[in-house]
Amino acid sequence: MSNGLNGERLTKNERREQARENARQLREEHKKRDRRNRLFLQGGIILGVVAVAAIVVLLIVTSVRPAGPGPRNMASGGIQFTTGFEVTSTPALVEGAELVPNAPSEDPDVLNIQVWVDYLCPYCNVFEQTNQEYINSLVDSGAATLEVFPVAILDRLSLSTKYSTRAANAAACVADSSPESFMAFHASLFANQPGESTAGLDDSELVQLAKDAGATSQAVADCITSKRFQPFVTAATSAAVNNSALVNPTNGGFGTPTILVNGQRYDGGLSDADAFKAFLVQVAGAAFVEEETSTPTPTPTATP
């Protein structure tokens, strides 16, 4: 077997030189391979650092990103109307901020009516149809203030479309950009109330109801379709559900409608207008009702 060039046998010195050369080439190959590995490792570390940095930056940006605001005029979670249906103006709350209750009227003769409603709730609709016209007359004349709190506790009854949340969001959109149209929209949501266990009205139908109520701006339509105030609705609902002052003593939970007058809970018949008026008498006194009905009280005949 030939070990040299041209088939010649190598001498001992030549074999030693060849071995040295082979070793040198092997060392060079190892050095090249080590340099490549270091470059790959450094590149991987750099990419990893960049990726981690990007994630950290994303988390920081997410954590400091301005929270989505709530609607204007609903800092309490509801929208309040005073004499002549003047809206109590409040700034938008940032997400996570505590709700700020509206101050009741300082006039002791003015009733402060608060109503929590879910627009899918049929009982809310019964109370609305039975008593809203009378309540509106009280507010219009200055005999009462009205605060409406749209909440969403019945999403489970709208075939996964979250109609309660979407309707409450739509109400918040109107309160934010077109508060003078709120009560008309509020009434329209009940007049067009879908049945429970249905998909409810879609967003385009909610937009149309808002337009029909006078909230015609594109801002309202975009707000409804983008569900801009859904987080606010969720937070306001949670605040209501966890408010011990709103707990129904009968079942120990929160339900709709919940009606407070001067902080006192109304638990009478929802379809009984006389019962509700009697409750107002109980809270405010007979003089209030006499003034509102403008019916002269007969003067008792003197006993001979």
Query: For residue range 125-148, what is the model confidence (pLDDT) as tens digits?
Result: 999 999 999 999 999 999 999 999
Which contiguous run of DSSP H or E holds residue 265? strand 264-265
pTM for this entry:
0.74
* Model confidence pLDDT, tens digit, residues 26-47: 556 656 666 655 554 555 544 4
In a domain, 204, yes or no: yes
Confidence of residue 63 (pLDDT cuts 50, 70, 90): very low
Q: Examine residue 58 and state whether it is found in any structural domain, yes or no.
A: yes
- Which of these, 251, 233, 232, 255, lies nearest to 243 by C-alpha position? 255
Quick one: 158 and 200 in the same domain? yes
Q: Which residues are CB-contacts of 93 (< 8 A; sequence separation ≥ 6)?
A: 69, 70, 75, 99, 100, 232
Which domain does 20 fall in, by range? 10-64
> Which three-class secondary structure state does DSSP give residue 152?
coil
Instruction: Please check whether residue 67 is in contact with residue 96, taking contact to mean a CB–CB distance below 8 angstroms.
Output: yes
- Give the count of domains, the chain: 2
Q: Are 14 and 2 in contact (CB under 8 A)?
A: no
Residue 83 lies in a domain: yes
C-alpha–C-alpha distance, residues 120 and 110, integer Å: 30
